[in-house]
Structure 1
Amino acid sequence: MKTSRPSRAALAVVAAAALVAGSAAACSGEDDGTITLSVGLFGDFGFGPLYEEYSKLNPEIKFEERIAEFSDHHTNLTTHLATGSGAADIEAVEVGFVSQYTAQPDRFHNLLDLGADELEGQWLDWKWQQALSADGESLIGLGTDVGGMAMCYRTDLFEAAGLPTERDAVSALWAESWDDYVAVGHQYAEATDGAYFFESSGNMFRAMVEQAPEGVYDRDNELIVESNPAISEAWDLSVEAIEAGMSNRLGAWTPEWNAGFNEGTFATIICPAWMTSYIETNAPDASGLWDIATVPGGAGNMGGSHLVLPEQGDHPEEAYAFIEWLTAPEQQLKVFEATGNFPSTPSLYEDEALTGLTKAYFNEAPVGEIFTAAAQAVQPQYQGPLQGDVLATIGQGLGRIEDGSQTPEEAWAQVLNDLESFK
């Protein structure tokens, strides 16, 4: 979901190298009988070793990985689909955008026609349903990871604020609700100077909304941002936290956000499984200072992706064979071990190889156990056609409150005005 995100500078180098290598393979490959499959991703999905493993099993298949920024990736994919050219053979789609594409299944190869009809029970039911067209006749993607939520926190900053640091005790601080979480934030703000309680209100808002029975759309694909009480409650609580000075006001995926993990400028962050690898990558000097508690408000899902095959791709059978292998439980487990992206295949959820995993970086936190419980507890929420864009628009409104450019009333009014273009 999009899914662990390493430094953007590193991604640029990797992507450039992959593109050069892949282009060379594509130019020469057709002559020697090889096929080069292009794979479009946002961030590092941990597929590198698996490309090598698959090519050893299938020497005729080579890979070209293209990596773009999260928003650019989805914008580019939409453009490529509209123009009929430019898409990779395989594209990753984050959960907030998948419903936009299931509404236009003719732009993708129907995976049910390629053999996926025999695999339905392999995934969490709601993960499978997310990639189905409304009539159930087309499946556009196979699921990679899911983003069952937890809460990562800095033990050193909690200790400095006089708060408990052991993960069960921290979980108990906000066991009942997000109101409890904000109440702890008030305690933290009163006890500290110069360190914020969380990095940005946008993630807090999204987590609260993702836990609600309904989010920004109803099942008729009507926007319910203005009428859904869960939205207004999440907005009001987020505004309260902003006005109390809890937010570090850091934009996600920015260099400042990355640096904040290592420098300890904020104490907590909403933490789907994929976030753990991101923290570890960007805060190498903070090992043992981060730990993992449960998330307020019960279960919820934030992030996760599907792999889709645009109709314009030249090698659908080969591409499908690869993503079927890549999303099988064995490979999903390897990705989790390497990157923290949590499997969407429940056959692993009682496997000690998954549930017994711990992370030394997070004080030996039992990540397998924590995120298995999080994934199993998710109550799926309907995702509307422009889910990701709607949430981003609301997040931008909160950002304008954070930077002082608008009052809460002005920001909400602009959000509603901006959302008119999505109706």
Structure 2
Amino acid sequence: MVPMKRLTRRGLLACGLLGATAVHGAERTVLQLAAFPLVDEIARAALPVWRQMHPGVDIQIVSRQYADHHTAMTTALSTSSLLPDVMALESSFVGRFAQGGGLEDLAQPRYDIGRFRSRLVPYAYDQALGRNGAVVAVPTDIGPGTMLYRQDIVARAGVDPEDLTRSWASYIAAGQLIKRSTGAYLIAHVSEIKDILLRTGIQPGEGMYFDQDSRVLVQSERFVRAFELALQVRRLGLDARVNAWSNEWAEGFKRGSLATELGGAWLVGQLSNWVAQQTAGLWRAAQLPEGANAGYGGAFYAMPRRAAPERKALAWQFIQLMTLDRERQLAAFKTHDAFPALLETHDDAFFEEPVAFLGGQKARLLWRVAARRISAARVHKQNGFADEVVGSELDQVLKRGKPIRTALQDAARLLERRAHR
């Protein structure tokens, strides 16, 4: 392991990056971090270590709910006002902001993030790469994709758990048997299947919706298959037609009316801590069907390009503490289920410990394998709009019987108008 270097105040001054207030003691330096729930708690837990490193520097954590936080960061970057020194970002926003030029390029010599590349999960590092080679953020945690299934429901239906993952066809066939035998739905909503299939088979240089030259990809066979399988599951009555994070979704887990869920490994923590605590021991984890590999979110740290220059060296030190320090990464994993992006944590014995909520299964070993297999897709500045357009067209297919290829053709037409904006 390459240890994180701690710069002295003299070294920071030599780099021209530390304000004089921290040196002469006229007043304490305050570094502001803007974050969202769980990331804020993880950062707060690191403050005693930070104070040992920098006794004269306080960290002010400004926390907002997830949507409010990212809206505030979007506004701050576009107006260059009320900028924090460090901002936490969810992975999808990193990709969008990478194209805008509002974030500091950490590939610059004074940061040289490239020297740490081999220490980070490859796909997570690549998510922060801009088209011009800039690296705008450092990953702190990731969400390897996994299938969670209720082993009691599966057993009652006489389904072999391997049938859930062998192929999408066997997954759907197992769902029919589960529904017929137990009345439980296979999945909450078919959009979960669509989302995985859209992330499967992306070619090098492509994004989910656009290629590197902003050509629209939504009429490809990847999209056709995703829509076809989603429609098949809906017609068979295998999804509960409830959206993730809704009250109905949570009730489905509590009542045992949902047999499987496709999502990030962090979902185990959500289920065990608040969504469905009473179902502890009934769930198991597996890889996604048909060998699919998908990442579900993850948190990054970034610095606004126009933030106070005199505090940027300290901001970079804080980011390194949160992303490149083995103990900090493991602490976040053990207390908040934040799967670490730092590879040198992956040999820790904690990965081999049984997960009580999963009936003692050593599921973290599965997720570690998945993390290495995921590849990053290029993120286009219009990805958010594309998500809405494709989701809307899927609704037209599911609810109104719109032909799949017509729906994708209409989606492509809309996206082509926005591709180069």
Q: Does 1:183 align with 2:173?
A: yes
Q: Residue type of the partner of 1:222?
A: R
In the TM superposition, residue 179 of structure 1 has moved relative to its aligned partner by 2.2
Q: Does 1:118 align with 2:107?
A: no
Contact kept? 1:46, 1:338, Cα under 8 Å: no
Q: Does 1:134 align with 2:131?
A: yes
Contact kept? 2:145, 2:296, Cα under 8 Å: yes
Distance 1:340 1:206, change over 3 A: same
Contact kept? 1:45, 1:339, Cα under 8 Å: no
Q: Residue type of the partner of 2:119?
A: Q
Give unmatched runs, 5+ long, in structure 1.
1-29, 165-169
Pairing partner for 1:162 from 144, 158, 162: 158
Distance 1:45 1:290, change over 3 A: farther
Give the TM-score normalised by the residue count of structure 1. Answer: 0.81
Distance (whole Å) between structure 1 residues aligned to residue 38 and residue 409 of structure 2: 33
Distance 1:38 1:192, change over 3 A: same
Distance 1:289 1:421, change over 3 A: farther
Secondary structure of residue in 1 paired with 2:259: strand
Secondary structure of residue in 2 paired with 1:245: coil
Secondary structure of residue in 1 paired with 2:36: strand
The residue aligned with 1:25 is: none
Distance (whole Å) between structure 2 residues aligned to residue 295 and residue 45 of structure 1: 30
Distance (whole Å) between structure 2 residues aligned to residue 421 and residue 39 of structure 1: 34
In the TM superposition, residue 57 of structure 1 has moved relative to its aligned partner by 4.0
Distance (whole Å) between structure 1 residues aligned to residue 72 and residue 418 of structure 2: 19
Distance 1:387 1:218, change over 3 A: same
The residue aligned with 2:344 is: 347
In the TM superposition, residue 318 of structure 1 has moved relative to its aligned partner by 1.9
Pairing partner for 2:286 from 293, 304, 316: 293
The residue aligned with 1:379 is: 375
Distance (whole Å) between structure 2 residues aligned to residue 237 and residue 355 of structure 1: 34
In the TM superposition, residue 420 of structure 1 has moved relative to its aligned partner by 4.8
Contact kept? 1:150, 1:294, Cα under 8 Å: yes
Distance 1:148 1:408, change over 3 A: farther
Pairing partner for 1:208 from 178, 193, 197: 197
Contact kept? 2:39, 2:299, Cα under 8 Å: no
Contact kept? 1:147, 1:304, Cα under 8 Å: yes
Q: Residue type of the partner of 2:168?
A: W
Distance (whole Å) between structure 1 residues aligned to residue 258 and residue 312 of structure 2: 45
Contact kept? 1:280, 1:361, Cα under 8 Å: yes
Secondary structure of residue in 1 paired with 2:33: strand
Distance (whole Å) between structure 1 residues aligned to residue 416 and residue 82 of structure 2: 30
Q: Residue type of the partner of 2:105?
A: N
Distance 1:97 1:36, change over 3 A: closer
Cα displacement string for residues 182-202 of structure 1 (whole angstroms, at most 9, x for unaligned residues): 222222222233x32111222
The residue aligned with 2:225 is: 233
In the TM superposition, residue 100 of structure 1 has moved relative to its aligned partner by 1.9
Distance 1:266 1:416, change over 3 A: farther
Pairing partner for 1:37 from 29, 32, 39: 32
In the TM superposition, residue 288 of structure 1 has moved relative to its aligned partner by 0.8
Q: Residue type of the partner of 2:338?
A: N
Pairing partner for 1:108 from 99, 103, 107: 103
Q: Residue type of the partner of 1:155?
A: Q
Distance 1:258 1:400, change over 3 A: farther
In the TM superposition, residue 87 of structure 1 has moved relative to its aligned partner by 4.2
Distance (whole Å) between structure 2 residues aligned to residue 206 and residue 119 of structure 1: 31
Cα displacement string for residues 139-195 of structure 1 (whole angstroms, at most 9, x for unaligned residues): 21001222221100112322333324xxxxx1x2144322221222222222233x3
Aligned 1:383-394 pairs, distance under 5 A? 383-394=379-390
Q: Does 1:313 align with 2:296?
A: no
Pairing partner for 2:334 from 326, 332, 337: 337
Distance 1:159 1:141, change over 3 A: same
Distance (whole Å) between structure 2 residues aligned to residue 398 and residue 249 of structure 1: 13
Q: Residue type of the partner of 1:271?
A: G
Distance (whole Å) between structure 2 residues aligned to residue 255 and residue 43 of structure 1: 21
Q: Residue type of the partner of 1:232?
A: V
Contact kept? 1:196, 1:267, Cα under 8 Å: yes
Q: Percent identity?
A: 23
Cα displacement string for residues 325-377 of structure 1 (whole angstroms, at most 9, x for unaligned residues): 1011332222122222222222233x133431331111112132111111122
Pairing partner for 1:363 from 356, 359, 366: 359
Distance (whole Å) between structure 1 residues aligned to residue 247 and residue 84 of structure 2: 28
Q: Does 1:199 align with 2:196?
A: no
The Cα RMSD (Å) is 2.7
Give the TM-score normalised by the residue count of structure 2. Answer: 0.81
Distance (whole Å) between structure 2 residues aligned to residue 192 and residue 381 of structure 1: 38
